[in-house]
Structure 1
Amino acid sequence: MSSRIGTILLIGATSGIGEALTHRFHAMGKKVIVTGRDRAKLATLAAKLNGLETRQLDLADLASFPAIVTQILKDFPTLDTVFINGGVQKCYDLFDPATTSADKIIHEITVNLTAPNLLAQLFAPHLLALAKSGSKSNIFITSSSIAYIPLSFYPTYCAAKAGVHTFTKCFRQQLGFVSEEASKNMNIVEVVPPYVDTGLDHDHREFTVARQGGEEKATPPIALDDYIDRFFASLEKLEPDGSFKKEIGVGFGEMSAGLWRGAFETVYEQMGLTV
């Protein structure tokens, strides 16, 4: 894995999984650039990790993306890996309008689906150019295990993450159409986490636990450190040609992605498509 990643940009890296990934990649000696919405959190992270580069980016501010991406690529022309992470999760009742609003639903779709789509599009030409030149390049995009097996508590979150899952498949197909040779050097990886103990569900965890019948029946989250250890263990398991796996899932995430491939991969193979 180490030879495939030299300089990595982590988008959405000031808390939860993104922050934990930042610490691990930095400890591995990679050149790490991180983005986040909160300038103070970025400064705190930079103070802890010597040499860390930070850039402010709000995933809800779509109009700011082109200028920010252009500047990042100008500042770091050897950037070979982009990791699109971050997101928001809301819990609401479709039959009770008082539990959400149009603005909240739009914001959740914007951050979880529209933003990753646009960012991937903006970084794609740079990563493709590297691949065409013979260098390795990678883009990781985080979906979720409940993109595959949705839960009623999170109607918009599940739908948006299912969109991310589908987007990565389309992205990979297009890469094959553009350049078969470059597709050997550029990896498009869907990251499929299970339920991890982060602050993502802080506002509604008690509610969803109660809906599942209490602590004894509710699905428990896995510890963040455990997830990160297992993610990196999977990341090291390269394909025979040295590529990353198309999906990197842990626990329920690995099972979900495996079920999808077992059911649908052969359909695409019959159409001559790589997914």
Structure 2
Amino acid sequence: MSARINTVLIIGATAGIGEAFARTFHTMGKKVIATGRNKEKLDAMSKELPGLETRQFDINDLAALPGTVGAILKDFPRLDTVLVTAGIQKCFNFFDPSITDPGQIADEISTNLAAPTVLVHLFAPHLLALANAGTKTTLFLTSSSLGYVPLSFYPAYCPAKAGVAALAKIVRQQLSFGPDAARANMSVVEIVPPYTDTGLDEAHREATVAMQGGPDKAFRPMPLAEFVAEFFKGLEDAEADGSLKAEIGVGFGQMGVNTWRGSFGKVYEQMGLCT
């Protein structure tokens, strides 16, 4: 199903999963626009990957996002795929006020949930209009297995990612009320990674390993290359009607999806709502 993707914007492409996706889509011959805060990294990627487009911006600057998105859509009016994967993760304890401060908590929730929600608001009409005109479009939102199975180490990250999982379902429901052509051509896909070996937890990995009783007992991350390979395998595995899957989960992430689908998903089916 990657054949439906021609021009893809990857928000959060300078590290981890986002960078790996940008490199893989570029290798596949797609037009890739990579974004991030780190201009030096974007410049280096542009030199290394011929034809890669880059845009520097901070998704946490919510007030600037309308102008930023407008400029991107002006430069790439045929943009058919938006993939939101930027995120940060902090480890702290609510009962120990010395660990963090309210501003850090607000920044983490803003980056992981408020910004993706605003970006959906800004990009959805464009993707809908293209879909209504007959172009296949896709909105990818990256949640986490921790959105389904929260752990105490990450008290702001887990609820924010649960919010992204809910956001994907809400956008899909709203799309289901749209024009027939748009419903047929636009897909909203939630990416649900397991604990993956990226730099996301670099600052606190040793601490969380110690909290779990040491390396022999701690959760082990999936190698990034393995996750990426499994994601792209899931991307090609379409539904029976040829549409993209609602969720592409890997490992423990897919377990969370399956559990939700087998329980709360049934409630939505009874209500006649698309999720």
1:129 is aligned to 2:129: yes
1:258 is aligned to 2:251: no
CA distance in 2, matches of 1:102, 1:3: 44
CA distance in 1, matches of 2:175, 2:149: 27
CA distance in 2, matches of 1:75, 1:245: 29
Mark the runs of 5 or more structure 1 residues left unpaired by the alignment. none
Q: What is the aligned partner in structure 2 of residue 215 from structure 1?
A: 215
Instruction: Summarize the alignment of residues 21-170 of structure 1 with structure 2, pairs less than 5 Å apart.
Output: 21-170=21-170
CA distance in 1, matches of 2:141, 2:2: 19
Instruction: Summarize the alignment of residues 176-187 of structure 1 with structure 2, pairs less than 5 Å apart.
Output: 176-187=176-187
CA apart distance, 1:57: 1.4
CA distance in 1, matches of 2:248, 2:155: 24
Alignment RMSD, CA only? Answer: 0.8
Letter in structure 1 aligned against 2:191: V
CA distance in 2, matches of 1:95, 1:29: 50
Among the aligned pairs, what percent are the same residue? 58
Higher mean displacement: 101-110 or 179-188: 179-188
CA apart distance, 1:239: 1.1
SS at match of 1:151: coil
Deviation track 1:106-161 (CA, whole Å, cap 9, x = no partner) reads 00011000000000110000000011111110000000000000000001000100
CA distance in 1, matches of 2:207, 2:179: 48
Letter in structure 2 aligned against 1:25: F
> TM-score when scaled to structure 2?
0.98
SS at match of 2:25: helix
CA apart distance, 1:178: 2.4
Deviation track 1:5-45 (CA, whole Å, cap 9, x = no partner) reads 01000000000110000110000000000100011111011
Q: What is the aligned partner in structure 1 of residue 271 from structure 2?
A: 271
SS at match of 1:35: strand
SS at match of 2:151: coil
SS at match of 1:155: coil
Q: What is the aligned partner in structure 2 of residue 197 from structure 1?
A: 197
> TM-score when scaled to structure 1?
0.98
Q: What is the aligned partner in structure 1 of residue 174 from structure 2?
A: 174
Mark the runs of 5 or more structure 2 residues left unpaired by the alignment. none
SS at match of 2:87: coil
Moved over 4 A (4+): none
CA distance in 2, matches of 1:56, 1:30: 20
1:248 is aligned to 2:248: yes
Deviation track 1:225-250 (CA, whole Å, cap 9, x = no partner) reads 11111111111101122211100010
CA distance in 1, matches of 2:130, 2:8: 14
CA distance in 2, matches of 1:171, 1:54: 27
CA apart distance, 1:179: 2.6
Letter in structure 2 aligned against 1:90: K
CA distance in 1, matches of 2:200, 2:235: 23
Letter in structure 1 aligned against 2:93: D
CA apart distance, 1:181: 3.6
Q: What is the aligned partner in structure 2 of residue 225 from structure 1?
A: 225
CA apart distance, 1:180: 4.0
CA distance in 1, matches of 2:191, 2:183: 18
Q: What is the aligned partner in structure 1 of residue 11 from structure 2?
A: 11
- Judge conservation of contact 2:108–2:156 (CA < 8 Å) in 1: yes
Deviation track 1:178-221 (CA, whole Å, cap 9, x = no partner) reads 23441121000000000000110001101111111111110100
CA distance in 2, matches of 1:124, 1:85: 16
